[in-house]
Structure 1
Amino acid sequence: MTKISNAEMERIAREEVPAVGQYGVRFDEIGDGTARAVLPYQEDFLRPGGTVSGPVMMGLADVVVYACVLSRIGIVKLAVTTSLNANFLRRPKPADLIAEGRLLKCGKRLAYGEVTLFSAGEEDDPVCHVTATYSIPPEEQR
């Protein structure tokens, strides 16, 4: 059973992760340890050469892993990223970004997940693969 709704996660993204939330990230689905989000395309995302910038993709992936973690442990705002690794697989087209994430492990102190990003309309050909670790604070610090 998921411990956070799509609407709650969108609010958290806007208020607590404004670098991504301000761009209108939309969560389509949050399950137990999974999340799917869409980041509507904006021309501000482009870097020279007409490609969506890496920081935009990494920010989206990070907030999707955060949603995966919160879906499992509930709203714990002090859960934070401790590492994030992005592998850019191909140049994304100027389109909405779709991110599908899942937890691979969620313990008492650490959670580890992955996110695959796609350009809208090309969900069979990923543009980026991200892995991330989150630190979960002990119960008494939540």
Structure 2
Amino acid sequence: MSRISLPEFTAILDRELPITRLLGIHTEAITHGQGRLRMIYNPDLVRPGGTVAGPAMMALADVAMYAVVLSLLGPVELAVTTNLHINFLRKPAPGDILAEARALKGGKRLTVVEVELYSGTAPGDADRALVAHVTGTYSAPPNPDAAAVSRAIEAGSWE
């Protein structure tokens, strides 16, 4: 079970990270160790060449990683990105970008997360295409339950 609810996570973003509103980032689902977010299409996010700008997709991935970390730890607002690596795989057409994120490994202070970014409308749509693959690491204040979180991630039992 997630340690933060969708309304709690949305409230943190609204209060502490208003850039998510500017970018049109919305959280669709958050479960223990997983998150699904969407960046609603906005023509202001299209760069020359007619594609969604890379910095906007990086921001979406980072917020998706934050959702996963808080799903594991609860509302730890001082969790911060320590590393983000992105591979742009194909040019997304102008449209919504969907982020599907999951925890790969957790420890006392660091959590490693993977994010897949898709163009297309919804999970399972035949038209959607993987446009970027992201891995990143978040650091958080020490968590007294870190060992339990790490075991749950490694066992794949966070659902």
Report the counterpart of residue 132 of structure 1 in structure 2.
Answer: 136
In structure 2, the partner of 1:93 is: 93
Mapped to 1, the partners of 2:139 and 2:21 lie a distance apart of: 21
- In structure 1, what is the Cα distance between the partners aligned to 2:134 and 2:30? 18
Which structure 1 residue ranges, 5 or more long, are not aligned? none
Tell me, in whole angstroms, the C-alpha distance in 2 between the residues paired with 1:129 and 1:65: 12
Shift of 1:139: 5.1
How large is the RMSD of aligned CA atoms in angstroms? Answer: 1.5
**Partner SS state of residue 3, structure 1:** coil
TM-score normalised by L of structure 2? 0.82
Q: Rg: which structure is higher?
A: 2
Length-normalised TM-score, structure 1: 0.91
State the Cα distance separating 1:51 from its structure 2 match. Answer: 0.6
Distance in 1, Cα, partners of 2:117 & 2:109: 26
Q: Distance in 2 between matches of 1:79 and 1:113?
A: 13
Give the 4+ runs in structure 1 shifted more than 4 A. Answer: none
- Counterpart in 1 of 2:105? 105
SS at match of 2:130: coil
Partner of 1:75: 75
Count of residue correspondences: 139
Give distance in 2, aligned partners of 1:2 and 1:139: 15
